[in-house]
Structure 1
């Protein structure tokens, strides 16, 4: 995904159904543990590489998802929302394959949104994860609407819950980039971030969501990652890697295994809104 000027996207005849397949992705305990360390996860089973942290599920889809986006636009794409459905845990020794498909194009006041569905399966066809990425290209307002509507997001009324605060290290985005193989320049190079108008490198959205996922797994799943069946949110504001930066995750239990959450930075800016999770018993 490239930095650029506001996009010019053809919303009259978008290629709904366009799909790209990923190359085989092999998992290992080393790779899973590296990802856990990159987001400062303290879950012993994650650090041992027995199970992947939940947001690791995005790593195998990146190749095919970005290939779809690159066919749509060469401009800067904002990751607006993400929605994971977890069917089976990612463990060492798997051979994973992903197909990413453009399922929806919608015009908004801010530009054009794309929804890409990515389905990851094992080499023998067992479902591992389905996820929906909602991305925005800024541009002319539009009321265009094509394709299917993504799954409805649950709304969990905020109640008294708990908070978890995590400090970010100066090398946070570099460590995450190495673990996720996501080297977007504005996340790791202060000069390029400044050229794009940002005060500091932007923490990857999936890194930001990883901290929220950690709070959910630790406090609502008893540390048992396979109990997490769904995780999603809207990215409301960039999390900048400034000195002393931290992220605070407020989370609360709803009904029927639902969990709500939101996250803010050290200045009080809400960086994640409308967060939700589904936990099995």
Structure 2
């Protein structure tokens, strides 16, 4: 129920909220049992149903209504000081875009058509476009023109799918993007391959796609498999999430293995050697 409601509320909060199930170290932990004492790390705790008994806890009616959940998320964002959309990276802002429009950045025009997955720009190459989008603190909501640009943008020299640009920006963003993913305990899985026939590709990205479509795995595991740094793996996973490549995330609930205790054999080296060879000691007197 919560997962479906969060999908409906997407775009109405400063940052996307993702349902992670039983994850005590999540940013917001919703507790339904009164008096249940769970550690939430640096996150917040909300009491569902009954009124909270601890100072600082939030409250959520149960079953949750859509607007009550939205109010809870907005309150949580204020307390967590979540970054606003204007502070999100360019890839995240473009992925959240719902309306057609155009930008003027440094005298260069960029026409955005998310409904058609299309982008046109007065630049010569993809690298020039990426540099332009990352060169300034882009506030897409404030800078987007909703009227038609002169000439309707059809004559712009650079044209590409919007998702291919979002993908390339995400690969560049890496650890600088607004995702606080735990590199060890958060497991990722892909249900599909990225569109490498249209999007940027490299051998490490191919290895990562093959790895994460086979099994749930952490960021740290992806680094070891692909021989890539953490920024590359995070950028790849961010691109998959923003371009909707069937990303699922769950925390690893496997308890850590207890260290194996080996009892050292009794006796000295000569006694152990005799026992292995089947030679008994003389009878004690």
For Structure 1 versus Structure 2, the TM-score category normalised by the shorter chain is under 0.3
Work out which of the two has the higher radius of gyration on C-alpha atoms and give 1 or 2.
2
| TM-score normalized by the length of structure 1 | 0.22
Comparing both chains, which one has the higher relative contact order based on Cα–Cα distances under 8 Å and sequence gaps of 6 or more? 1
**Counting helix residues as a fraction of each chain, which structure ranks higher?**
2
TM-score, with normalisation over the residues of structure 2? 0.22
